[in-house]
Amino acid sequence: MKLYKICGGLAVMSYIIGTASVCGAIEWRTSLRVPIGILLFGCVCMYVALKESGGRYDF
């Protein structure tokens, strides 16, 4: 399996989990440190996926 496919999948899952975590943290008035970290991890994974795939978004 190619690196960009793995990173692309991790990025999408991080976006979903991170968004849900941000909503939960806002609703329960807890720290946003972990949810923002999850979203940043997703951004880094998406950057690596796009860099490795040559700019194609087909993973």
| Domain count of the fold of the chain | 1
The pLDDT assigned to 1 comes to 75
The answer as to whether 48 is a domain residue is: yes
Q: With respect to residue 57, please indicate whether it lies within any of the assigned structural domains.
A: no
Q: What is the pLDDT of residue 59?
A: 61
Angle subtended by helix axes 3-28 and 33-52, to nearest 10? 160
Provide the whole-model pTM: 0.88
Give residue 57's pLDDT. 75
**Which positions of the chain have pLDDT values less than 50?**
none
Q: Considering only CA atoms, which of 58, 46, 57 is closest in space to residue 10?
A: 46
Q: Is residue 16 part of a domain?
A: yes
7 domain residue, yes or no: yes
Which structural domain range is residue 32 located in? 3-52
Report d(CA 32, CA 1) in Å as an integer: 34
Instruction: Quote the pLDDT of residue 11.
Output: 96
SS3 content of the chain, % helix, strand, coil (to 5): 80, 0, 20
